[in-house]
């Protein structure tokens, strides 16, 4: 039973999404036959880095999580800070070793991401909007990382932009959800400085941009018909429902549900890109 708090600490759903995002990125980036160990090592290095990033984020967020998310293992004291730090360092070291096996460029990208995640957790997340952009950028970078493994990132710019936009929306949504704890901790996020209404309209316009972006990809024939079928049947209806529900109800429970809805939309969007390749 002792392992479950550590699994909860790394947020396995996010780690699994990162793992499979790299696999999808590699498949999209090339038609060449890639050795199975390259798939495995590149995906594991990205997944372990994401897991470590979640740990260090919670490490610095203990006080705010005691208000916003008291069930998290560090916030409720189930895992001690020293043990979390050891786990964090171990995951980073393993991910660097695995990335180094692939080649120098993946190693440097993993090292860069680890440094940025540390800076984000310690300082950058406290800077309005910048912290949101950093996390959205790193999410998009997952796909570029997959392209560096095969030496071709051209086919991955669009998936990276898609991931950036949907995660920037999600990050802003989470800022509204976490306002109570952020105010308690003295963290100045966008909704705290500019107000919820301002943040709502930023989220609205970003979501509209994302929807038009998907139409643009089909109209200019970046992908086959399978792409638009999945987008029109699932992703865009979810985004429209997201906006409707978000403007009607900003309660913490609904915001949490909508955050997971955006995560689902990203997964389905990647499936659409993969199917329409």
pLDDT digits (tens, 9 = 90+) for 6-21: 999 999 999 999 999 9
Going 36 to 41 to 47 to 48, the CA torsion angle's sign is: positive
How many angstroms separate the CA atoms of 210 and 236, rounded? 9
Cβ neighbours for 90, distance < 8 A, ≥ 6 positions apart: none
Residue owning tokens 């079928």: 229
If you average pLDDT over every residue of the chain, what do you get?
91
Residue owning tokens 């609904």: 254
| pLDDT of 97 above 60 | yes
Give the total residue count for the chain: 277
| pLDDT of 44 above 60 | yes
Interval 217-265: pLDDT, tens? 877 777 888 888 998 899 999 999 999 999 999 898 999 999 999 999 9
- What pLDDT score was predicted for residue 1? 54
Q: Is CATH 1.10.1200.10 the right assignment for the domain spanning 3-275?
A: no
Axis-axis angle for helices 252-275, 157-177 (nearest 10): 170
Give the angle subtended at the CA of 261 by the CAs of 47 and 212, to the nearest 5°.
100
Domain boundaries, the chain: 3-275
**Which residues in 124-257 belong to E strands, given as ranges?**
none
- What pLDDT score was predicted for residue 224? 83
More confident position, 180 or 21: 21
How far the first Cα of the chain sits from its last, in Å, is 43
Going 176 to 180 to 181 to 187, the CA torsion angle's sign is: positive
Q: Which two tokens stand for residue 91?
A: 């995951």
């Amino acid at each position: 039973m002792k392992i479950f708090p550590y699994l909860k600490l790394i947020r396995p759903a996010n780690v699994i999404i990162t793992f499979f995002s790299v696999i999808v990125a590699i498949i999209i980036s090339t038609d060449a036959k890639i050795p199975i160990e390259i798939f495995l090592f590149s995906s594991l290095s990205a997944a372990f880095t994401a897991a470590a990033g979640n740990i260090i984020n919670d490490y610095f967020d203990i006080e705010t999580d005691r208000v916003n998310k008291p069930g998290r293992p560090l916030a409720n004291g189930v895992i001690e800070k020293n043990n979390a730090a050891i786990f964090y360092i171990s995951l980073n070291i393993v991910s660097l070793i695995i990335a180094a096996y692939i080649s120098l460029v993946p190693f440097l990208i993993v090292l860069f991401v680890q440094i940025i995640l540390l800076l984000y957790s310690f300082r950058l997340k406290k800077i309005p909007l910048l912290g949101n952009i950093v996390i959205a950028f790193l999410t998009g970078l997952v796909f570029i990382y997959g392209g560096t493994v095969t030496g071709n990132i051209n086919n991955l710019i669009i998936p990276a932009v898609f991931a950036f936009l949907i995660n920037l929306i999600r990050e802003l949504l989470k800022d509204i959800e976490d306002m109570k704890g952020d105010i308690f901790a003295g963290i100045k996020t966008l909704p705290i400085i500019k107000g919820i209404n301002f943040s709502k309209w930023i989220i609205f316009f970003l979501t509209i941009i994302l929807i038009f972006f998907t139409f643009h990809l089909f109209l200019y024939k970046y992908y086959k018909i399978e792409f638009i079928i999945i987008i029109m049947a699932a992703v865009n209806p979810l985004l429209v429902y997201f906006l409707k529900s978000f403007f009607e109800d900003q309660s913490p429970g609904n915001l949490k549900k909508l955050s997971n809805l955006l995560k689902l939309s990203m997964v389905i969007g990647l499936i659409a890109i993969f199917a329409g390749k």
